[in-house]
């Protein structure tokens, strides 16, 4: 199979879909790897590294899209890239379709088959291709939130850990999953007073058993959320419903109860955001203010630490990529129901129920898509 890896073109996206080591493995399996020139530079990989691995360097993305059987990326294809996708081509990347009707329409029109990293599952009910970036984003959230809190950036001017005689920042993390757990660990390590909100008592018991004394946790209700948000210096939104749009858990009305200059960090922005006032920003212009509250809503947070993120992501995606390349997508998905859960689009039909519900589009069963 010809595997194509174009350079990411989303603003300030420095990750790359394949490391040289991953390219070497695919080539060892008998496949041809085409990498756009400069694709790995942002992650610290030169063209020469890919050549040493056995890959072919291609001058333009257009040539890669025109010749590759499978396109491997990090972020969702941008409008210009979507025009280059073709019928029967396999796309393997993050998609986050639920809040993105334009991308969904373009993928359906292209006739391609698209498997989304974020909806591939595992036997434990987890999301193995989302988890590495959730870990990175969770660990970044307190770091960027602390920067947002600085007075020069419009924040309250509060130090996360305080100093002797001055209390620490109060941080509320909404969601106790992978993102929330990592965010709480880092925020606590910075010395903040941290509370994690979640609606699963099982998860709260786990957090208490493992991290009891490191940070607090509380059962999430509209009332408890509103109370803690009003007291917070920083709120980190870490809620995920696989494949679906994120629920809006902090309303604009609630902003009026918050301390002026408090910071909201919306890690769920890829899925539409969990704050009513959220809209996607970039690393070049990451924050904005609404009603005196500072919002950090960068849609590709892990891109800020591109080398760490690229290696972590490829560690997770490589086994699935090899299965798709070795067997073809139909047989690979037939053999692995968890990979089949990643199928979002095939031959002009949507194949993910959560996305279909969010966008009001009829869905073809993934099992039927295998036969079409």
What is the rounded distance in angstroms from the CA atom of residue 132 to the CA atom of residue 262? 28
Which residue among the candidates 106, 233, 266, 270 is catalytic per the annotation?
270
Q: Please report, in angstroms and rounded to a whole number, the separation of the first and last CA atoms in the chain.
A: 21
96 among known catalytic residues:
yes
What is the rounded distance in angstroms from the CA atom of residue 165 to the CA atom of residue 173? 25
3-state class of 51 per DSSP? Answer: helix
270 among known catalytic residues:
yes
Which residue among the candidates 24, 96, 182, 295 is catalytic per the annotation?
96
What is the rounded distance in angstroms from the CA atom of residue 294 to the CA atom of residue 259? 10
Of residues 325, 302, 311, 327, the one with CA closest to residue 18: 311
CA angle 345, 58, 63 (to 5 degrees): 50
- DSSP single-letter state for residue 272: T
Structure tokens at 34: 């085409």
Beta bridge partners of 171: 194, 234
Catalytic residues: 96, 270
């Amino acid at each position: 199979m010809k595997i194509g890896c174009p350079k990411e073109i989303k603003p300030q996206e420095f990750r790359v879909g394949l490391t040289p080591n991953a390219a070497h493995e695919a080539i060892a399996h008998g496949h041809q790897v085409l990498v756009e020139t400069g694709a790995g530079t942002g992650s610290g990989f030169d063209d020469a590294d890919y050549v040493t691995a056995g890959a072919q360097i291609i001058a333009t993305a257009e040539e890669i899209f025109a010749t590759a059987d499978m396109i491997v990326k990090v972020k969702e294809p941008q409008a210009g890239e979507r025009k280059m996708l073709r019928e029967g081509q396999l796309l393997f990347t993050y998609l986050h379709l639920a809040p993105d009707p334009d991308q969904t329409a373009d993928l359906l029109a292209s006739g391609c088959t698209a498997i989304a990293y974020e909806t591939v599952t595992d036997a434990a009910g987890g999301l193995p291709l989302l988890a590495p970036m959730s870990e990175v984003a969770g660990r970044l959230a307190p770091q960027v939130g602390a920067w947002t809190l600085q007075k020069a950036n419009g924040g309250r001017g509060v130090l996360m850990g305080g100093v002797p005689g001055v209390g620490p920042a109060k941080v509320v993390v909404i969601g106790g999953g992978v993102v929330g757990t990592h965010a709480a660990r880092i925020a606590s390590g910075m010395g903040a007073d941290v509370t994690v909100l979640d609606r699963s008592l099982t998860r709260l018991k786990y957090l208490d058993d493992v991290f009891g004394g490191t940070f607090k946790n509380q059962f999430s209700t509209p009332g408890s959320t509103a109370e803690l948000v009003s007291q917070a210096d920083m709120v980190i939104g870490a809620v995920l419903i696989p494949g679906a749009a994120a629920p809006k858990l902090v309303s604009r009305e609630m902003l009026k109860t918050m301390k002026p200059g408090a910071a909201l960090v919306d890690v769920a922005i890829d899925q539409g955001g969990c704050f009513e006032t959220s809209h996607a920003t970039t690393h070049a212009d990451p924050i904005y203010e609404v009603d005196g509250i500072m919002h950090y809503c960068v849609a590709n947070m892990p891109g800020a630490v591109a080398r760490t993120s690229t290696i972590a992501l490829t560690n997770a995606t490589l086994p699935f990529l090899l299965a798709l390349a070795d067997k073809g997508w139909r047989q690979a998905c037939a053999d692995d129901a968890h990979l089949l859960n990643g199928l979002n689009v095939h031959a002009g039909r949507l194949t993910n129920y959560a996305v279909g519900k969010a966008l009001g589009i009829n869905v073809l069963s993934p099992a039927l898509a295998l036969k079409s």
